[in-house]
Structure 1
């Protein structure tokens, strides 16, 4: 019975760590979207995608969305 308690604690810690990382990345993406300007209605679109699809939306935004921001010289 003691092995079950130890493995459960490690598994719970792993899930909590994963959840915390996802929450931090999701929050970073939402704040980054709100702070920058995008072409056309890109800000609203990216915000809705990241807000309603936290894991997939954050991954998409970090891989493609950041390149679609308006850059001022």
Structure 2
């Protein structure tokens, strides 16, 4: 089975452990996609807005120093 990363750190300063973000919506969506599950329409809409709203990445959502790629 292939292991996929949930997120990568993109800042130099200290950030909390990735495990502390397990209840974040973006973390849960990335985890769901890594398992091979499909997203429903509401989750897709939220994800599209989160990706388009941020100024850092074109295909990712930043959260507390981590980059969640989609």
Fold match, TM over 0.5? Answer: no
Structure whose residues are more often strand by fraction? 2
Higher relative contact order, chain-length normalized (CA < 8 Å, sep 6+): 2
Q: Which has the larger radius of gyration?
A: 1
